[in-house]
Structure 1
Amino acid sequence: MNSSKNNEFFETQVLGHPSGLFVLFFTEMWERFSFYGMRALLVLFLVSSLGIGGWDWPRENALALYGTYLALLYLTPIIGGTLADKYLGNRKAIIIGALIMTLGHASMAIESNPLFLYLGLLLLVIGTGFFKPNMSSFISILYKDFPEKKDGAYTIFYMGVNAGAFLGIMLCGYLGEILGWSWGFGLAGIFMLLGLLQFTLAQGIFGEAGNKPNVVNKKIEADDHTEIEDKLNPFTLIDKILIVIVATFGLTWVINDPLSKIGDVNFLEFGGTDYSGQTIIITLILFLVLIATRIARYSKITRDKMIAVVVIAFFIIFFWASFEQAGGSMSIFAKDYTNRILSGNAAFIFNIVDVIITVVPIALITWVLFLLFKQTFKKYLISNLILGFSFILIWGIVGWKIYNNFNTYSYEITYNTYKTSVDKDAKPQIITSETAVSENAVLGTQTTVIRTANEFAANDKLSIIDIDKKGVKFKYLTEDQAANINTSINAKIVRKKENEIEIPATWFLILNSLFIIAFAPLFSKWWESKYNPAPAYKYAIGLFFLGVGFAFLAFGATGIPRGATTASVSILWLVLAYLFHTLGELCVSPVGLSYVSKLVPARMIAFMFGVWYLALAIGNKTSGKMGAMIDVITEKYDIATFFLIFTFVPLIIGVIAILLNPVLKKLMHGVK
């Protein structure tokens, strides 16, 4: 792409950056809105009671599927990026990816049918493979002749990432928990579609950039031997066979894990014996052999640098295995073990704070939208109208959310129960409209609190469809609906309580985005100062922060007895955990992929990017595997012990990172 084409992109300015950058900003924002909105709901939906629309899965099964989904999300970009470079170009790949993801979200909105949910997840994995790697590389192409502006461009772009994550978790999570899961999943799909349309209709602003496949420059200034080594070190037949075996075995194991738990299908069971453990061990050994034999063929300097990448990738596995508990076991902790009920002044203060942290970011983004309108409205009318409509929709949902939070009432209700035994420790069973109660059953009543926008008076009768574990989730039925549902529960209003609110379990996930926005400028100044730590120290600090976050959760959970499936600990512990986890993420995220590009020779760039994404996939799959241990550890010990594992593992790996710093520094041969 020549400079004249680049200059067209730079013709109109918004906040000192090209207008076209903000087209990418909003496209990425809506994609992240969709991704994080769906991610916030997935595990909660799977483990919630059937009556309130969930699937009532065991936590182990839900977290197995969650881990596999996250792992596959980091594997498909290797394929999508390669196809874009060789055949499609960035722009076609982005559009294909966004279209496939829109279909995936639409499929997930039909959540009552398992086939549609699984199809939706598959489409999201495939679509992300096309979309994710090409958005970032597209910016690199657009700014090729203006490298001095690239850092600022990526800063703006990643603000879009965090804005999308914040809005998606807040609004999809709220609708999913308050109105029903399909509302949350469906909203994610709507904004993915709006992002696709906005990008497609504004493509002219990019000139010819990203239309054609990229020509990969094989030369790289890694060291003086690189270009010669590229010619002398091709992938051998054994290399290619190992790659096929490792990819086949690894994917089989990743996909087989949830299948064996959920569908009773085990591809790795032979003769009644499950060989899953042996399979993944053999796969990892073969993978290490592949890396070792490839690296060994390079000169010492190049070999050292590539070993440094492998060491850094090792740290990243442990970081993400713990960090990604956010959408898994930490969401379960928020749902079942945290006291999310606030009343009186506490409820009022929370509502005010929630309004501020909701309205202020959206107002700022709307202002950016207005500035973009002024520059591009006439030339890209339909794209801007779609973008404008998306914000009208956002403001409408936010307005309804605020109104609903201030106008939700709390009622104490009673419902009938029975015991088939006189044993005082026997758990009471709920009497539904189809329950046949035996003559010797012990009848009784239970009390719980519901929250609804409907107004009731004392002694009013109502029908509800189910009561979740903590009694705070229910579905209110009209008389006509109750007549058509055999399992409805007859209840009676006892009294209207002091104004109470229930914080959605998904709300805590927005703290990550808020803390990133608040602390990223401070960390940026730290990295630019003379106190900028070495890479190993950054990872160590990040892992220490991560461990401290889990230590707060472990401390907060100390009073929960062994085997408990519900509790009501303070929300403070979750808030502190997300704070320290975010500080850890800010330490780790700057290192990442930049070191891969700086340290490895051209011939190995694609392969080592694959290694990096594989490390992320292993970390995310491990997060699901470790999270799935929550019930086993809680029953044998307690949930505090479960979180202590995630406290000590990052701390130990952080110490190892510090000890390895001299070695890593030597291996990097001056690369910073």
Structure 2
Amino acid sequence: MSHLTKKEIVESVPQKGFFGHPKGLFTLFFTEFWERFSYYGMRAILVFYMYYEVSNGGLGLDKTLALSIMSIYGSLVYMSGIIGGWLADRIFGTSKAVFYGGIFIMLGHIALALPGNITMFFISMVLIVLGTGLLKPNVSSVVGDIYPENDNRRDAGFSIFYMGINLGAFISPLIVGELMYTSFHLGFGVAAVGMFIGLVVFILTKKRNLGLAGTQIPNPLAPEEKKKVFSIFAIAIIVIAIAVIIAIPRGWLTFDSFIAIVGILGFLIPAAYFFVMYRSPKTSDVERSRVLAFIPLFLAAVMFWAIQEQGSTILALYADTRTNLNFMGFRISPAWFQSFNPLFIITLAPLFAWLWMKLGDRQPSIPQKFSLGLLFAGLSFIVILLPGYFGGTDALVSPLWLVLSILIVVLGELCLSPVGLSATTKLAPAAFSAQTMSLWFLSNAAAQALNAQLVKFYTPETEMLYFGIIGGAAILLGIILFAISPIIQRYMKGIR
């Protein structure tokens, strides 16, 4: 295919048809809705599946180990986006990456739905990690492709897209959280059905609604490069397989050592990508300045996600073991608390989208929005330590404390996450468009790699200290980021 200009791609997409936005937003909205339905439904019960006793349908793992595995799994899901972004940028484009990713995710959920053992569990994790790496960054990148470069609807469009993500994330824990009392595998089966529906929506509507968006390969491999690259991939897979076969029997590769390795990679890989993009001859001087501006935003996102992502680990454990689950005569599933985050986003995202549109050029800059996100994230952890302060850490607490903490972190998420998606499409060097979106998701990977270590320090005895130190660190970083936001803004070279 000949190289397409941004203008040609945008003109191929019907620009009206979905709440005043390009028609392609419909396809991407519902594809991501069903993908997130499947992912968050599975995630809502996964940690319980790991540490519940075998007699209760679980795997019977140690609680701390289950929390670390959950964090590492989340880290690998987002880390694999680098591979998905590279494949989209250089081999088959973002549209095909979305489709192939959906297939892997569905197969992973099917593997979880089949009664099995710890081996089947890890096979499913590998499939879901690979599939999400292909789908997640690339579907967001296509959203950026359907808008003209200076379209004022872009931030609002990403907020609507983000609302679709959270609509799926809201519904699925309610369904799967109830099904886990019957069978964990039944809940995982519902997640597989959700991804299947998402694939059907994408296939049936992409040609009419997306036009040429997602079909462009921004930086295709030259014919002479392909053989070399595929050889490197094959050799790497063989070397890794041999290393694993040798390391496991000798005790070199354990859960703890694997968690440590992923933790290092969580920060090493994004650092390498920043270096490669900055030094690349395909990156212009203006783009290099924008890459530098992206670094403090990335670090702020790592701090934010380190708190937000503990909703599926520490706060899930808190819901299961520290919260009174009999509330006003109703039995509450601990998985249901994971629906509050998307519920609040669904409720508040239109308000934030309207606010940014209403303020126009008077709205806070991107770095200032990020600093607000960190402030709210820190406050959410300060709030959740209060029940322990007032009533002790050995008594069950009202579920309203957990709901309030989730509400506060959502306010931060709406200041940072959809804005971060939009900013990434604006700041990305042209030759690294999909890979820069993958880099944005690596902030989540780094955060969860960090969490795999942090969760080891959480006990009922250290509860208040745990929440206080992490929450205080986020507030302090938010203040620093706000102070240096004018400097970051200058490096963004006209992007606001």
TM-score (norm 1): 0.61
Matches within 5 A, 1:73-472: 73-142=77-146, 153-176=157-180, 178-206=181-209, 209=212, 212-215=215-218, 265-267=251-253, 291=274, 295=278, 303-342=288-327, 346-347=328-329
| 2:360 pairs with 1:536 | no
Residues 172-191 of structure 1: CA deviation (Å, up to 9, x unaligned): 12212x32211211111112
| 2:413 pairs with 1:585 | yes
Specify the code of the residue in structure 2 equivalent to 1:322. Answer: I
* Count of residue pairs the alignment pairs up: 468
Q: In structure 2, which of residues 384, 392, 415 is the aligned counterpart of residue 553 of structure 1?
A: 384
Equivalent residue, structure 2, for 1:502: 331
* Native 8 Å contact 1:5 1:207 kept in 2: no
Quote the offset at 1:88 in angstroms. 2.5
Specify the code of the residue in structure 2 equivalent to 1:185. Answer: F
Distance 1:586 1:575 in 2: 17
Quote the offset at 1:558 in angstroms. 2.4
Specify the code of the residue in structure 1 equivalent to 2:448. Answer: N
Distance 2:462 2:169 in 1: 32
Counterpart of 2:323 in 1: which secondary structure?
coil
* Native 8 Å contact 1:26 1:160 kept in 2: yes
Greater CA deviation, 40-49 or 142-151?
Answer: 142-151
Specify the code of the residue in structure 2 equivalent to 1:646. Answer: I
* Native 8 Å contact 1:28 1:160 kept in 2: yes
Specify the code of the residue in structure 2 equivalent to 1:628. Answer: K
Distance 2:454 2:126 in 1: 23
Indicate how the Cα distance of structure 1 residues 16 and 38 shifts in structure 2: closer, same or farther if over 3 A, else same: same
Specify the code of the residue in structure 2 equivalent to 1:56. Answer: G
Quote the offset at 1:285 in angstroms. 7.3
Greater CA deviation, 144-153 or 326-335?
Answer: 144-153
Indicate how the Cα distance of structure 1 residues 116 and 171 shifts in structure 2: closer, same or farther if over 3 A, else same: same
| 2:344 pairs with 1:515 | yes
Indicate how the Cα distance of structure 1 residues 264 and 646 shifts in structure 2: closer, same or farther if over 3 A, else same: farther
Distance 1:536 1:145 in 2: 20
Residues 180-227 of structure 1: CA deviation (Å, up to 9, x unaligned): 21121111111212222343344553486358443459xxxxxxxxxx
* Native 8 Å contact 2:378 2:473 kept in 1: yes
Distance 2:285 2:100 in 1: 42
| 2:26 pairs with 1:22 | yes
* Native 8 Å contact 1:89 1:210 kept in 2: no
Specify the code of the residue in structure 2 equivalent to 1:568. Answer: L
Specify the code of the residue in structure 2 equivalent to 1:583. Answer: L
Give the structure with the higher percent helix.
2
Specify the code of the residue in structure 2 equivalent to 1:548. Answer: L
Distance 1:622 1:290 in 2: 19
Distance 1:586 1:651 in 2: 17
Counterpart of 2:212 in 1: which secondary structure?
coil
Indicate how the Cα distance of structure 1 residues 142 and 656 shifts in structure 2: closer, same or farther if over 3 A, else same: closer
For structure 1, list consecutive stretches of 5 or more residues without a partner in the other structure: 218-239, 348-500
Equivalent residue, structure 1, for 2:226: none
Percent of counterpart pairs with the same letter?
A: 31
Distance 1:533 1:207 in 2: 31
Equivalent residue, structure 2, for 1:642: 466
* Native 8 Å contact 1:101 1:128 kept in 2: yes
Distance 1:92 1:338 in 2: 44
Equivalent residue, structure 1, for 2:483: 659
Distance 2:391 2:18 in 1: 53
Quote the offset at 1:596 in angstroms. 3.9
Give RMSD over aligned pairs.
4.0
| 2:454 pairs with 1:630 | no
Equivalent residue, structure 2, for 1:354: none
Quote the offset at 1:588 in angstroms. 1.1
* Native 8 Å contact 2:266 2:442 kept in 1: no
Equivalent residue, structure 2, for 1:64: 68
* Native 8 Å contact 1:328 1:624 kept in 2: no
